[in-house]
Structure 1
Amino acid sequence: MLLGFYSGLIVFVLLFFIVLFVWIKTFKLKKQNKMPIIMLGVLMVFTLVVASIYTTDFFYLKTEQTKSTAGACTLEFVSGGGNSLDTTEVIIDNKKYSIKSEHFKDIADGNYFCEITYLPVTKIVTEISIKN
Structure 2
Amino acid sequence: MLTGFYSALIIFTLLFIIAAFFFIREFVKKKVSPFNLNTIMLGVLTLFMLIVSGIYSYDFYHLQTSDQKTAGGICEITFVNGHGRSIDTTEVMIEDKVYNIKSSTYKDFPDGRYHCELTYLPISKIVTQIDILTKDEKGD
Q: TM-score, normalised by structure 1?
A: 0.83
Over aligned residues, Cα RMSD in angstroms? 2.2
Equivalents in 2 of 1:28, 1:55: separation in Å?
Answer: 32
Structure 2 equivalent of residue 65 of structure 1: 67
Question: How many residues are aligned here?
Answer: 132
Deviates most, 112-121 or 9-18: 9-18
C-alpha distance in 2 between matches for 1:107 and 1:73 = 12
The C-alpha deviation readout for 1:32-72, integer Å capped at 9, x for no partner, is 46111100000000000000001011111212211111010
User: Match of 2:48?
Assistant: 46
- 1:122 Cα deviation after fit: 1.0
Alignment partner, residue 128 of structure 1: 130
Is the partner of 1:121 in helix, strand or coil? Answer: coil
- Normalised TM-score (structure 2): 0.79
Change in Cα spacing, 1:125 to 1:21, as seen in structure 2 (3 Å) is: farther
| 1:1-132 mapped onto 2 (5 Å cutoff) | 1-2=1-2, 4-32=5-33, 34-131=36-133
Paired residues of 1:70 and 1:113 also in contact (CA < 8 A): yes
More contact order relative to length (CA 8 Å, sep ≥ 6): 1
Give the % identical residues. Answer: 44
**C-alpha displacement at 1:6, in angstroms?**
4.7
Structure 2: state its 5+ residue gaps: 135-140
Q: Does the CA contact (< 8 Å) of 2:6 and 2:57 recur in 1?
A: no
SS of equivalent residue, structure 1 residue 54: helix
Query: Tell me, what secondary structure is at the counterpart of 1:81?
Result: coil
**Structure 1 counterpart of 2:77, one-letter code:** L
